[in-house]
Structure formats: C-alpha cells, structure tokens
Amino acid sequence: MNSIRRDIRRPRPLQEAARRAAVIRRANRRAAGAVTPVRRAMSRRRSTFKAKAEAKEITFDQQIPAGCEVTAHREGLFHVFENLLDNDVKHSPRKRVIRLASKTREDGRMELSVEDQGPGIPKEVQNRVFERFFRVDVSRSREAGGTGLGLAIVKHLMDKMRGEVALTSEEGKGSVFTLILPKPSI
Ligand SMILES: Nc1ncnc2c1ncn2[C@@H]1O[C@H](COP(=O)(O)OP(=O)(O)OP(=O)(O)O)[C@@H](O)[C@H]1O
Ligand SMILES: [Mg+2]
C-alpha cells in the first residue's frame, strides 16, 4: 500500500506537463466534432510504442473495421490511443496480446475498447488513475519511465470531444479502457 501514492517531487514530470499542455491547447483550439475514421486516427504517424512492442514481442489484435467512424477531433483521438497503447505495452509482460475492438451501443454511440493482458489495476485506485501524476506503483512506473500524465490527458481529451472513458480491470488478468464517442449522423 505504501507504493500507492502521488509523486510530484521530481522536476521531469513538470517539464513533461508543459510539453503535453501544448498538445491539449492545440486540441482545445480545434472543433471537437469532425467525422473521424478510427483506424486512420490510430495510425496517422509513427507511434512511440511500436518499437517497445516489437522488442517485447507484443502483438495487436485489431478488430476495428476499416469503415468505423466516430465524431471526434482526429489529433485528439490519436493522442488518446497513443497514451492507452503506450501504457498497455509498458505494463504487459512479453508476448501478450493487445486487443482493439468496437461496437455500437444501444444508445447509438460508438464504443471503442483497448484491452491488455497486463498486471491489471487494483480496484481501490481505479477511480484515481485519471488524476494528474497518479501512479499505481511508483517503483514499477519509475522503472517503466512514467510521469503519471497520460491518463489525465486521455480524460481531458475525451471530455473535450464530448466523449467518455471508463476502466474495468482485474488484478492479474488485465485492463480494458473503453472510449465512448458519438457516431457521425448520416
Ligand atoms: N494498462 C495498464 N496496466 C496496468 N497499469 C496501468 C495501465 N495503464 C495505466 N496504469 C497505471 O496507471 C498509472 C497512470 O497512468 P498514466 O498513463 O497516467 O501515467 P504513466 O504511464 O505512469 O506516465 P506517462 O503516461 O505520463 O508517461 C500508471 O503509472 C500505471 O501505474
Ligand atoms: Mg502512460
């Protein structure tokens, strides 16, 4: 339990916060609601986690159909996926699979899910992982090079896009991050 705490003493997170604040400012300036093809938003440019995934022999099970579209800000959605997939790759053991899926909800919105087979996140902190600088296990996260900003950015961007993000996770089994966004109207 001692390892579950905030760590705001190191200078690096603050520099990182400034750099990422620029991403948020850019996203804020643009309209939230453009028709965005999900798969293109995910692979728009070279992603930072890909080399790490290759080194750990982690594979992606891409189940999102090519025609899947949501109403979102494309760069914002790209950063959301970057942060979620970076976390999954960072925390998953070697040779695991990361699954990406989509479905239309009963309320007509799109649900996009990112599921890993990593260590999971304890129930008692699941509602805190979206706070800035919060890290579940400080020693493990330091080893993995985290600053605790990624999920706070995900939450902020999803709010801006009038979407939602939710987490379900079981320790020892893995985590599922679910994104809910409006579907483009025909
Ligand atoms: N897929 C995951 N599996 C297990 N733990 C996770 C996962 N995603 C996030 N976490 C936990 O939640 C914490 C917060 O994640 P967040 O992305 O905000 O920060 P970070 O990855 O440590 O740093 P940053 O994203 O700024 O590089 C992480 O430190 C980690 O402890
Ligand atoms: Mg992260």
User: Number of folded domains in the chain?
Assistant: 1
Whether 117 maps to a domain, the answer reads: yes
Whether 44 maps to a domain, the answer reads: yes
Higher pLDDT, 19 or 149: 149
- What pLDDT is attached to residue 1? 45
pTM score: 0.86
Distance 3 CA to ligand 2 centre (A): 17
Q: Looking at residue 47, which CATH number applies to its domain?
A: 3.30.565.10
- What pLDDT is attached to residue 2? 47
Q: Which residues of 92-125 are buried (b: 16+ CB within 10 A; e: fewer)?
A: beeebebbbbbeeeeeeebbbbbbbbbbbbbeee
Whether 130 maps to a domain, the answer reads: yes
Whole-angstrom distance, CA of residue 137 vs CA of residue 143: 10
Whether 171 maps to a domain, the answer reads: yes
Whole domain around residue 55: which residue ranges? 2-181
Tokens for 131, please give them. Answer: 């706070």
Distance 143 CA to ligand 1 centre (A): 12
9-62 pLDDT per residue, tens:
455 777 777 888 777 777 666 656 789 999 988 876 667 788 999 999 999 999
End-to-end CA distance of the chain: 50
Query: Atom 27 of ligand 1 has which residue's CA nearest to it?
Result: 146
pLDDT exceeds 70 at position 145: no
Give yes or no for a contact between 171 and 136, defined as CB atoms under 8 angstroms apart: no
- What pLDDT is attached to residue 17? 79
